[in-house]
Structure formats: C-alpha cells, structure tokens
Amino acid sequence: MKNINSVMLKRISYLDRQFRTRKLVKASSVAKDYEVSEKTIYRDLELLKTEYAAPIEYDFKTKSYFYSKPFKLNAFDFTINELYNLAIIRELVKSSDSNPFKTGQKSIFNKLVMSFGDDIKNQIRTVSEKVSFKFKPVRKLDDKVFKAIEKALFEERTINIDYFMLDENRNNQRTIDPYHLKNFEGNWYLIGYNHSKNKIRIMAMNRIKKVTLSNKYFDIPEEFDIKKYFKDSFANRRTSKMYNVEIVIKQEFINQILESKIHPSQKLIELANGDMSVSLKVNELLEIKNWILSKGSKIFVQSPPELIKMITKEAASILKLYH
C-alpha cells in the first residue's frame, strides 16, 4: 500500500462519505471544497480505487463519479507487517500491571480483533511466542488520582494536591498547573508549575495522595519545552545549577561501561595508561552519584568536589555496615 498522509486520508474519507450520501460526485466540486487542484482529486479517486478496491465508476452524462455497488471505506486496511507491529504494541501494553491506560488500550485491541479476525489473531499468537517484555516492578497508582490529573493536564486546569513529603513524613498542600506527565523507568512523574514556589517542579505521582480540580484554567508558557527542560539531567532530576563532571573509567571496563552512552554531553579522551577520561555536564548530582556507586571501583571521580564528597560519604556509610 502507498504511504498515505493524514491530509490525503481526510480527502479520501470525505470522498467516500460523498459517494455514500450524494451518490454522484464531481471532482471539481471536491477540489473546490478542499482548495486543491482537480488533478489532486483525480489522484485521490485512483487511490481509492486501486488501494482500497472502491467500486468507482464514471458517468459520462453527468461528468460525475459514483459507487457502482454498496461500499464503505475501511481506512485501517493494515498490511501484515502493520498487524505484526500492532501485535508487538499489544505485548507492550500487557507487560505492565501498572499501566494506567491499560483498560482503554485493551478495548482498542478487542475492536481490532473483531475487525481483522484471524489475520491479527495469528500475528498476536506468533508475537507472544517469539517476543516478550519485562519491566521493573513499580508502585501501583491510585486510579482516581491519575485520572483527575490526566483530565486537568489536557484541559489545562489548575489542581490542588496533597503531596507526601518523605523527609518530613507528612502531606503538603500544593497548587499546581500540570504541564506534562512523564514515565521514567516505569514510574510516573508530574511536571508542573508550583504556585507557592513560583517554579516548575517534578513530583512523583505515587506520592500524590489527593487531587481536587479547581475552576481556574491556565496557559502553558510558550518557552516551556519538556525536552529542553530535561536536556541537562542525568536521568529524571534537575536543579538550576550546572556541574562539570570528570570521571575516569579503568581500561578493562571501558567497553562494558561505554557500550551505551552515559550522557548526551559526554566527551571522551583516551589516557596514556589506557584508561578513559569522560567529561559531561549535568544539572543535578544525586542521580549520577547513584550511577557511579553502582559501578563500584570501575570508575574514579575527579570532579566536582561536591560529587566526590557525596560518594566518599556514602561509601563510608556502606563500609560501617560491614564492621
């Protein structure tokens, strides 16, 4: 099947509706409706006829097109390869017990099975035997809380929340403009404007205990860009301060550690002794500290002093447990 973009799909869907309601359709009339050339509509008609097997005929007397027999366009006429990819998506959906969108996604796939019968059933069966996914276990979210935040997010509506503060062991009341929902390594986070702090904050969804929708609406600032917001983060946290991090990877572990990129800003320099020097810029140190500790003695930190202090303090605490 030819690649069909959304604009083309709208036109051929419109043509199909016209055929089923008006019976006779003039290419010039549709071209005028869509402000395109008649040549474009002729191509759309040919597409309908060849790719979707629409029974289009031409009436020379009225200079119009019509369906010669009952027909309804099925725009979702998937190829076998596309059905395979849908089966892959289904396995992804099934793999997480904590997927808050699971109910709606299951409904979609049930409709697809009803529409495409054995074709998609066979693909689903094959994929489930050949491909599987396993994600880290995550905390189950309160469905009411998630749905309320989702509603506020898409309506751009201010919410009042009770947010559990781990360090203080109590709930904190906050007024938030929700900008974005982010799933990071299986856990959900809300990024939004905190009215009392006058700043954008990142909040763990599992720590939001109560949500109340207000009657106030907001506009997300044009300058807010979620990709730029996390651009300098090592993982999912950030502050307003930038840090130049310098680490050295021991020679025997270089391939193991660098088989995936550490950070987009990384710069590598091979040292005379065979070790690898890595420099990168991040705007938060806790996450890179945890990552470095997970590598044990394979990595040595050269700077900044704040990061060295954090790691030596954590290492000393670990050592005390074994004495």
pLDDT digits (tens, 9 = 90+) for 127-142: 888 888 887 777 778 8
Q: How far apart are CA 314 and CA 297, in angstroms?
A: 14
Band (pLDDT 50/70/90 cuts) for residue 3 is low
**At residue 298, does pLDDT exceed 70?**
yes
Residue linked to tokens 């030596």 = 312
Q: How confident is the model at residue 305 (pLDDT cuts 50, 70, 90)?
A: very high
Give kind and range of the element (H or E) at residue 172.
Answer: strand 170-184
Contact 15, 45 (CB under 8 A): yes
Total Cβ atoms within 10 A of residue 39: 10
At residue 28, the pLDDT reads 92
Tokens representing residue 38 in the block: 């008649």
Across 43-48, average pLDDT: 90
Q: What is the DSSP-derived secondary structure letter of residue 274?
A: S
CA distances from 157 to 130, 177, 204, 212 (A): 44, 7, 19, 10
Q: Could you give the CA distance from residue 116 to residue 111 in angstroms, rounded to a whole number?
A: 9
276 to each of 260, 271, 298, 301, how far by Cα in Å? 15, 6, 11, 12
pLDDT at 240: 84
Residue 23 clears pLDDT 90, i.e. is over it: no
Q: Identify any residues that bridge with 178 across adjacent strands, giving them in sequence order.
A: 192
Q: What b-and-e string marks burial along 272-311, b requiring 16 or more CB atoms within 10 Å of the CB?
A: eeebbebbbbbbbbeebbeebeeeeeebebeeeeebeebb
- Per-residue pLDDT reduced to its tens digit, 172-230: 999 999 999 998 887 899 999 999 999 999 999 999 999 999 999 999 999 999 999 99
Question: Which are the contacts of 80, defined by CB distance < 8 A and separation ≥ 6?
Answer: 119, 123
Give the residues across from 245 on adjacent strands. 280
Q: Are 135 and 186 in contact (CB under 8 A)?
A: yes
Summary mean pLDDT of the chain: 88
User: Are 30 and 64 within 8 A, CB to CB?
Assistant: no
Nearest of 214, 208, 236, 215 to residue 143 by alpha carbon: 208
Residue 2: predicted pLDDT: 55
Q: What's the farthest any 2 CA atoms get from each other in the chain?
A: 99
- pLDDT digits 0-9 by tens, 155-170: 999 999 999 998 889 9
What is the length of the chain?
323
DSSP per residue, 135-159: ----PPPPHHHHHHHHHHHHHTEEE
Task: Kindly report the number of other CB atoms within 10 A of residue 15's CB atom.
Answer: 23
Token look-up 């016209």 returns 18
- CA distance linking residue 312 with residue 318, whole number of Å: 10
Percent of the chain with pLDDT over 90: 59
- Helix 38-51 × helix 6-22 angle, to 10°: 80
Query: Tens digit of pLDDT for each residue in 242-282?
Result: 999 999 999 999 999 999 899 999 999 999 999 999 999 99
Integer CA distances (angstroms), 212 to 16, 100, 165, 189, in order: 45, 19, 18, 18
Q: In sequence order, what are the beta bridge partners of 203?
A: 190
Which pLDDT score is estimated for 123?
A: 81
Under DSSP, is residue 185 helix (H, G, I), strand (E, B) or coil? coil
User: Among 41-55, 56-70, 81-95, 200-214, whose mean pLDDT is lowest?
Assistant: 81-95
